[in-house]
């Protein structure tokens, strides 16, 4: 079995939560775990969620850096895939 991990970094906590919600909905019924780690929420709860070793972590740069500095998040190999989504209200 191949285990793959993903780290999704977004600029705002609202966007991180929205991404986490949509990814979790897409993966419903699978054993893949998704966790959002963002500032402004209880750090201890996020640490508990990370101890479950989720396959996908969605977070903001500040909270991810904080958790990395305190060795709550370990990065071994990072393959970065950037995706830019653009929506326009113009017809």
Least confident of 3-12, 58-67, 81-90: 81-90
Contacts of 54 (CB under 8 A, 6+ apart): 32, 33, 34, 35
**What strands lie across the sheet with 56-59, from one edge to the other?**
6-9, 56-59, 34-37
Q: List, for residues 33-49, the tens digit of each pLDDT value.
A: 999 999 998 888 988 88
Note the pTM of the prediction, 2 decimals: 0.74
């Amino acid at each position: 079995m191949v285990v793959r991990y993903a780290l999704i970094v977004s600029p705002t906590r609202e966007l991180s939560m929205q991404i986490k919600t949509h990814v979790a909905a897409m993966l419903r019924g699978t054993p893949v775990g998704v966790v959002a780690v963002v500032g402004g929420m209880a750090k201890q709860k996020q640490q508990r969620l990370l101890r479950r070793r989720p396959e996908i972590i969605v977070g903001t740069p500040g909270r991810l850096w904080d958790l990395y500095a305190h060795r709550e998040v370990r990065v071994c190999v990072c393959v970065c895939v950037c995706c830019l989504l653009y929506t326009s209200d113009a017809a």
